[in-house]
Structure 1
Amino acid sequence: MSVITSKTKGVFVIAVTPFRHDGTIDPGSIDSMVDFYFEKGADGLTILGMMGEAPKLTLAESLAVARLTLARASGKPVIVGVSAPGLAALGELSGKVMDMGAAGIMVAPPATLRTDEQIINYYRHVIDTVGAETPVVLQDFPLSTGVQISTKTLGVLFTAHPSIVMLKHEDWPGLQKISDIRRAEAQGQRPVSILCGNAGVFLPEEMQRGADGAMTGFAYPEMMVDVVRLMNAGRVEEAHDVFDAYLPLIRYEQQPGLGLAVRKYLLAKRGAISCAAQRRPGIMLSEPAVNEIERLVARQDRRLTFPA
């Protein structure tokens, strides 16, 4: 079983959950989606995240998605989002997916947390619940959760809990947080892996600040793969050239509320999934939106040149 560590690097794509038109899970599209992501160069996957419509799934469905994904991944690392309102549900899902062979779990703080003390106590309870042997990704996404975690509090958590091996960095603006964490590590704080989200909107800058890669969803995962590869090779201008070619689509996919519909439409268009349906409630793309996406794709195809 491949597990994540504080040295994990690369691109872990946040996977969508494929549904049929009737809202049922589509096992065939899970297989094709997993193949698609790895064929485009992903180092691993993260499933049942916020853009994976996890809150719309039953426990049985979450386990089915995890089982199908892990089977298709054939030993490549798969992180499973287990965030839940209560620790009992979080612990049950965590234990079952780790037994299936998950590489680790991802936990976002519940929106009820307001103080540093509450955040510290919450993650202590999480580690007590899932066991100190379970690798944990701490998802820091205040724009969604409403929970502000300071760099100082992150340092307290990393020091107290060695099983928190990775930060999913999605603070915005948050580039300084990456710099501050790396500075603290240079001064003796335990190192952690930092993979960044927000659809890769700041990926080149995040890599320059010391991030280890990306953990986010975008319908063109090869963009993230190429940017990370080129930045690691010191080919900064080429990395920015690749990023710039995709930027109009990244921007369009970042629309609050509409982004998942855009992503699923493009993944279906690219053959990764058979159907762009979301489980209800979900936003459908209008005809003008589809026309705008198609125009952006056509313009992107004319601009793209990939470095060797």
Structure 2
Amino acid sequence: MFSGCFVALVTPMLPDGEIDYKGLEQLVDLHLQHGTDGLVIMGTTAEAATISLSEQSDVIARVAGQVSGQIPVLAGNGSNATAEGVARTRELDKLAIDGFLTVTPFYNKPMQKGMLAHYQQVAAATQKPVLLYNVPGRTGVDLLPETVAELAMTDNIVGIKEATGSLTRLSDLQRCCPGDFLLFSGDDASGLNFMRAGGHGVISVTANVAPAQMSRLCKLALSGHFAEAEQLDQSLQGLHHQLFIESNPIPVKWALQRMGVMTSDFMRLPLTQLEPIHHQIIEQALQQAGLVA
């Protein structure tokens, strides 16, 4: 169903805070041309928390229309309120998307039974595939393998983006979940080892700035060509780590502007532009990856 390199796409913005639709179109074209296997729109990296639902719907509809079935498009539909998550899912379900990426409820810190009920209700609001998204570092809760296994019994919950960076967690998920349950890494730095251990791909921040390299890395890993994949991954490790030197997507937007891919690295408050002290660090990571001279 889904595999390989999915990019957690940034949302280009103009200096006045409006969405840069021309820049967005160019960004999507870049991924279509460089082999990205799928797009995740309006997730954390897209700054969904500061973008209204009507704006999100507009962005997702435009991207889906531009892609026109060439690669899968997944929409972020996460919320920390279950009723809002259900309503959001029903609204976005009207669009020509291929599925959803649903982050765990954030800030509320629900128990496992609360997350179980939350996901069951959100998944019931659509017939499209749903990928769970576990990122404890941002949400404050950890969706445990036993809960994932129970959710995997829901017909349209087809996989998970697991961003703990733990290969032990991957093996626990493999032990608990059905063999056809999709396992995506949400941690670029350990993504290669995740795929080596049986994962199906990566939902990647690094792919924003290195789409061709990340696409090739995933293809090599999933076809068992690990020696070549390791060599490529080494050149990207600086990006994997330094793109999180400040809160995502602050560094990746700066990198895209530095590369000339985007005209602005603007973000809506409370996110702010990359601190000058970090510019050279990201620059060196881009050089190591061969993306700037």
Shared fold, TM over 0.5: yes
Deviations, residues 219-243 of structure 1 (Å, cap 9, x unaligned): 2122321221111222111111100
TM-superposed deviation, 1:90: 2.3
Paired with 1:117 and 1:274, the residues of 2 have a C-alpha distance of: 45
Alignment of 1:186-201 (within 5 A): 189=178, 191-198=180-187, 200-201=188-189
Shift in CA distance, 272/68, structure 1 to aligned 2, threshold 3 Å? farther
Matched pairs, number = 289
Alignment of 1:258-273 (within 5 A): 259-273=248-262
State the secondary structure of the residue aligned to 1:100: coil
**What amino acid is aligned across from residue 78 of structure 1 in structure 2?**
V
1:43 pairs with 31, 37, 48, which one? 37
Q: Which residue of 1 aligns with 2:232?
A: 242
Unaligned ranges ≥5, structure 1: 1-6
Are 1:37 and 1:221, in contact at CA under 8 Å, matched by a contact in 2? yes
Shift in CA distance, 85/119, structure 1 to aligned 2, threshold 3 Å? closer
Paired with 1:109 and 1:230, the residues of 2 have a C-alpha distance of: 31
State the secondary structure of the residue aligned to 1:201: helix
Task: Give the TM-score normalised by structure 2.
Answer: 0.91
**What amino acid is aligned across from residue 122 of structure 2 in structure 1?**
V
Matched, 1:175 2:167: yes
Deviations, residues 202-233 of structure 1 (Å, cap 9, x unaligned): 01110011110111211212232122111122
1:212 pairs with 200, 208, 211, which one? 200
Deviations, residues 84-136 of structure 1 (Å, cap 9, x unaligned): 233343233322322221111111121324422222222222223x13x1211
Are 1:169 and 1:196, in contact at CA under 8 Å, matched by a contact in 2? yes
Q: Which residue of 2 aligns with 1:4?
A: none
TM-superposed deviation, 1:289: 2.1
Greater Cα shift, 97-106 or 200-209: 97-106
Matched, 1:253 2:249: no
TM-superposed deviation, 1:303: 11
Q: Which residue of 2 aligns with 1:99?
A: 94
Greater Cα shift, 112-121 or 68-77: 112-121
Runs of 4+ residues deviating >4 angstroms: none
Q: Which residue of 2 aligns with 1:3?
A: none
Paired with 2:52 and 2:41, the residues of 1 have a C-alpha distance of: 14
TM-superposed deviation, 1:251: 1.4
User: Pairwise CA RMSD of aligned residues?
Assistant: 2.1
Task: Give the TM-score normalised by structure 1.
Answer: 0.87
1:82 pairs with 77, 82, 88, which one? 77
TM-superposed deviation, 1:32: 0.5
Are 2:9 and 2:46, in contact at CA under 8 Å, matched by a contact in 1? yes
**What amino acid is aligned across from residue 174 of structure 2 in structure 1?**
R
TM-superposed deviation, 1:302: 9.2
Greater Cα shift, 247-256 or 204-213: 247-256
**What amino acid is aligned across from residue 168 of structure 1 in structure 2?**
K
**What amino acid is aligned across from residue 72 of structure 1 in structure 2?**
Q
State the secondary structure of the residue aligned to 2:148: helix
TM-superposed deviation, 1:292: 2.9
Alignment of 1:59-208 (within 5 A): 59-75=53-69, 76-111=71-106, 112-128=108-124, 130-131=125-126, 133-159=127-153, 161-172=154-165, 174-185=166-177, 189=178, 191-198=180-187, 200-208=188-196
**What amino acid is aligned across from residue 204 of structure 1 in structure 2?**
L
TM-superposed deviation, 1:190: 5.6
Are 1:113 and 1:119, in contact at CA under 8 Å, matched by a contact in 2? no
Unaligned ranges ≥5, structure 2: none
Are 1:245 and 1:303, in contact at CA under 8 Å, matched by a contact in 2? no
